[in-house]
């Protein structure tokens, strides 16, 4: 008897209602709920600890803290404005280098290599690169982007830092883009080919719009991870102290000394005194809010593109 028949459906419902019919499923469900509660609770506790530790700055000196630069004279005079600007600049350079290369690589692997042996080998190595520690990418950036490509990057600059983080997040962008393209039904491609569309028309007008929301989400999440990395930036020359841009214009700041929020947090944490610890906690809240804002933007854009599609 087929379960799709009325009698089969009734039997299926009776089995689901019978006590103990799906003990394993119920246990697995509660395990998933427990894991979700644990992860959410852990993040809530972490956020609460940072807010409590940095409350002295967040409640009474937040505007000054956000609009002034670093100072080693006293914790009360120190701010994170330069770190915010530097983080946004590094994220911009990271996106410029990582997004086009990552998405183009995924398109080639899925749409042109089409599950060939070469594509499988490349995808396997990319997945392995996604698990490499960030400090290794910092060493790579120091050797290649700071020294070997000094004529292009101008040494330890925002460009070198952004290219280093681009190499760090590139595997993540490729993996998410590959999975997004694979999730597009083949029937969509076949229907487009059936009405005489070319390979480029199928790709640009059907496949990419269908996968764009997922690709965008993975890309923004990868950039959000780059915003929180400190070790690679320290290795490629991000300053841990005071910076002065002087009369430099916006473009000139990309080829000069720079810092970033994670580097400033590291500097606050290593300085002696409880006041510097308060600054480190407050700066951690600032970078967390920045990352949450980026993630929120990703969710908004994903939902908008999904509705349009």
Full 3-state SS string of 53-84: HCHHHHHHCHHHHHHCCCCCCCHHHCCCHHHH
* pLDDT averaged over every residue in the chain: 83
Determine the average pLDDT of the residues in 227-249.
75
Confidence label for 1 from pLDDT (cuts 50, 70 and 90)? very low
Distance CA 177, CA 175 (A): 5
User: With 60 as the cut, is the pLDDT of residue 124 above it?
Assistant: yes
Determine the average pLDDT of the residues in 50-77.
83
Determine the average pLDDT of the residues in 278-282.
89
Distance CA 308, CA 70 (A): 44
The CB density around residue 225, as the number of other CB atoms within 10 Å, is 17
pTM here is: 0.82
Confidence label for 16 from pLDDT (cuts 50, 70 and 90)? low
User: With 50 as the cut, is the pLDDT of residue 2 above it?
Assistant: no
Q: What is the pLDDT of residue 113?
A: 85
Distance CA 253, CA 11 (A): 71
pLDDT in tens, 73-121: 788 888 888 888 888 889 899 999 999 999 999 999 988 887 788 888 8
User: With 90 as the cut, is the pLDDT of residue 255 above it?
Assistant: no
59-308 homologous superfamily: MetI-like (1.10.3720.10)
Determine the average pLDDT of the residues in 218-223.
86
Distance CA 224, CA 40 (A): 19
Determine the average pLDDT of the residues in 124-151.
88
Determine the average pLDDT of the residues in 254-270.
85
Q: Got the DSSP string for 140-199?
A: HIIIIIIIITHHHH-SSSHHHHHHHHHHHHHHHHHHHHHHHHHTS-HHHHHHHHHTT--H
User: With 50 as the cut, is the pLDDT of residue 187 above it?
Assistant: yes
Q: What is the pLDDT of residue 3?
A: 47
| 8 A C-beta contact, residue 173 and residue 127 | no
> Half-sphere exposure (CA, 13 Å, Cβ side) for 200?
0
Determine the average pLDDT of the residues in 198-216.
86
Q: What is the pLDDT of residue 6?
A: 57
Confidence label for 223 from pLDDT (cuts 50, 70 and 90)? confident
User: With 50 as the cut, is the pLDDT of residue 240 above it?
Assistant: yes
């Amino acid at each position: 008897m087929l379960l799709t028949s009325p009698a089969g459906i009734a039997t299926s419902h009776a089995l689901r209602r019978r006590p103990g019919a799906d003990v394993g499923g119920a246990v697995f469900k509660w395990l998933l709920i427990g894991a979700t509660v644990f992860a959410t609770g852990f993040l809530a506790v972490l956020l609460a600890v940072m807010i409590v530790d940095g409350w002295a700055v967040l409640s009474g000196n937040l505007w000054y803290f956000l609009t002034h630069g670093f100072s080693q004279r006293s914790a009360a005079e120190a701010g994170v404005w330069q770190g915010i600007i530097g983080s946004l600049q590094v994220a911009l350079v990271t996106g410029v280098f990582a997004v086009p290369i990552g998405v183009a690589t995924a398109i080639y692997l899925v749409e042109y290599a089409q599950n060939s042996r070469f594509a499988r080998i490349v995808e396997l190595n990319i997945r392995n690169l996604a698990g490499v520690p960030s400090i290794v990418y910092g060493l790579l950036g120091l050797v290649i982007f700071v020294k070997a490509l000094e004529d292009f990057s101008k040494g330890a600059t925002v460009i070198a830092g952004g290219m280093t983080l681009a190499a760090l997040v590139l595997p993540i962008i490729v993996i998410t883009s590959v999975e997004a393209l694979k999730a597009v039904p083949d029937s969509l491609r076949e229907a487009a080919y059936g009405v005489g569309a070319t390979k480029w028309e199928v790709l640009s007008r059907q496949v990419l719009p269908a996968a764009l929301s997922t690709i965008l989400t993975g890309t923004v999440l990868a950039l959000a991870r780059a915003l929180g990395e400190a070790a690679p930036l320290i290795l490629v020359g991000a300053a841990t102290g005071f910076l002065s841009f002087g009369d430099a214009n916006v473009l000139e700041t990309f080829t000069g000394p720079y810092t970033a929020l994670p580097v400033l947090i590291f500097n606050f944490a290593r300085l002696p005194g409880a006041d510097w610890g308060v600054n480190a906690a407050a700066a951690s809240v600032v970078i967390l809010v920045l990352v949450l804002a980026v993630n929120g933007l990703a969710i908004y854009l994903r939902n908008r593109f999904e509705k349009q599609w």
